[in-house]
Amino acid sequence: MRVNILTASPARLVIATSIPAILGQLAVGLYSFFDLFFVGRMVGVEALTAVSTASPFIMLNNAVAVLGGCGAASIVSRALGSGDEQEANDVFKNMLALVIGLTAVLIIFVECCAEWLIGFSGADGSIAESGTMYLRLIFGGSFFINISQSMNMVIRSTGEMGKAMLITSIGAILNILLDPVLIYSLPWNGVLSAALATLISQFVQFIITLCFVYHSEPFHVRIKGNGISKVSLHVIAKICFIGLSGMLMQLLMFFRALYLYRSVSMCGADIDLAVMGASQRVMDLVFVIVWGISQAVTPLVGINLGAGKYDRVNSFLKWFCIYSTSACILTEFVVCVFSKHILSLFIDDSGICIYGEPLLRIMYAGYFTYGMVLILITYLQIGGMPVKALVYTALWQIGLLIPCTLLLPFLVKSSNIMWICIPVSDVLAAVIFCPAVRELFIKPGQL
């Protein structure tokens, strides 16, 4: 695999790695997508709103997985590029220890504060009660979710995109099958049934991932002997240093979603929360397409960076930028054309769908910029430049959104101003990032 990445045609490799990476990330996105789909269609709008208000907090799980997974993936890909399999092995084991420790702390925090967290998002009454139950049950299985996700990121960093995709697809398909069965057959709250379906699916995915890693090269993970018991604070610190920007992206996506939910709840009614919940879930799903492309960058760019082949790095980055931007433009077109039909997947009320149709279109108006922005941030993570990645991530996710929501209401009089602020901040971020992207293509490895 390493020799192929260092010598084969960049155009062919981009296609070969991007497709399974996208499919694998789509499989991850389908977990939450179908939870909301089946809850909205089989239980009702109130249950849909409850799951929607809990969804941003699940990004805290993603943040822990990304901290360990992205940090380790960056180091592992460069280590494999330089031929150092021992370093790749050590980093992987310490990544597991890091994720396990942080997940334990996160579970305690969320289980104790779930009711307060849901209330902070703007929900109340029976919606808050259902959202709290959903959140607590989901976080009860955080160990399986976080460990399997972080391990999958490292598997992708070795170039094994197809196997990583297959593992996540098995879990997603199982979740799709279990959701309607459990919601229909179990006598309790349908929201809890959806959470239980997700937990079972993630547990199965965890077992399959563990079996794959146990028998794979270059990771000889053993629970006993010289396995993960050998923890190095130096290695963990290095993983955290590199993965911090990826974790921050997840946390800022969490704060961005929470900020939007709270803003909408203060300016509108439950119907606005329902539309925002469905719109955000669509965003979560389509975002994994461009996120999957960015994950394919990791083995190709990382291994070639480790080998010092900067011309190939430049070629890969250009191809990835073209692919990711094209995917974003196509996605935005589909969402805008079929916005009413997309909302009807979640909301079984034609009046709410008609009300939310223009809002969904407004929300996606700046989505065409995501590919370029994400490629830049991903490259900075892979190249071991986390401080720059942190700055760009913070600016993109929330650094421009909050000023827009504070200033635009004075300049534009519209009942949809909170929705308008989303594409405005996205486009502003892309404009600010353009010089850095141009420099990236001119001097790969020196940004």
Q: Which pLDDT band holds residue 221 (cuts at 50, 70, 90)?
A: very low
What pLDDT is attached to residue 217? 59
What pLDDT is attached to residue 282? 79
Q: How many CB atoms lie within 10 A of CB 32?
A: 20
Out of 12-21, 162-171, 196-205, 297-306, give the one with best mean pLDDT.
196-205
* Residue 149 resides in a domain: yes
Nearest-angstrom CA–CA distance, 168 and 201: 10
Q: How many CB atoms lie within 10 A of CB 414?
A: 11
* Residue 419 resides in a domain: yes
Residues 411-424 have a mean pLDDT of 82
What pLDDT is attached to residue 201? 87
Q: Which pLDDT band holds residue 61 (cuts at 50, 70, 90)?
A: confident
Q: Which of the residue ranges 215-229, 278-292, 314-328 would you say has the lowest mean pLDDT?
A: 215-229
Residue 55 has pLDDT above 60, yes or no: yes
What pLDDT is attached to residue 301? 76
Residue 185 has pLDDT above 70, yes or no: yes
What pLDDT is attached to residue 222? 41
CB 194 within 8 A of CB 167: no
**Closest by Cα among 380, 390, 388 to 444:** 380
Q: What is the pLDDT of residues 338-364, one digit of tens each?
A: 888 888 877 777 788 888 888 889 888
Residue 225 has pLDDT above 60, yes or no: no
pTM over 0.75: no
Nearest-angstrom CA–CA distance, 257 and 276: 9
Residue 243 has pLDDT above 60, yes or no: yes
What pLDDT is attached to residue 226? 47
* Residue 1 resides in a domain: no
Half-sphere exposure of 113 (CA within 13 A, CB side): 10
Nearest-angstrom CA–CA distance, 112 and 349: 35
Q: What is the pLDDT of residues 386-395, one digit of tens each?
A: 677 778 888 8
Q: Which of the residue ranges 2-16, 232-246, 371-385 would you say has the lowest mean pLDDT?
A: 2-16
Total domains present in the chain: 1
54 vs 268, residue with greater confidence: 54
Mean residue pLDDT across the chain: 78
* Residue 196 resides in a domain: yes
What pLDDT is attached to residue 443? 61
Residue 252 has pLDDT above 60, yes or no: yes
Residue 119 belongs to what domain range? 7-442
* Residue 128 resides in a domain: yes
CB 59 within 8 A of CB 251: yes
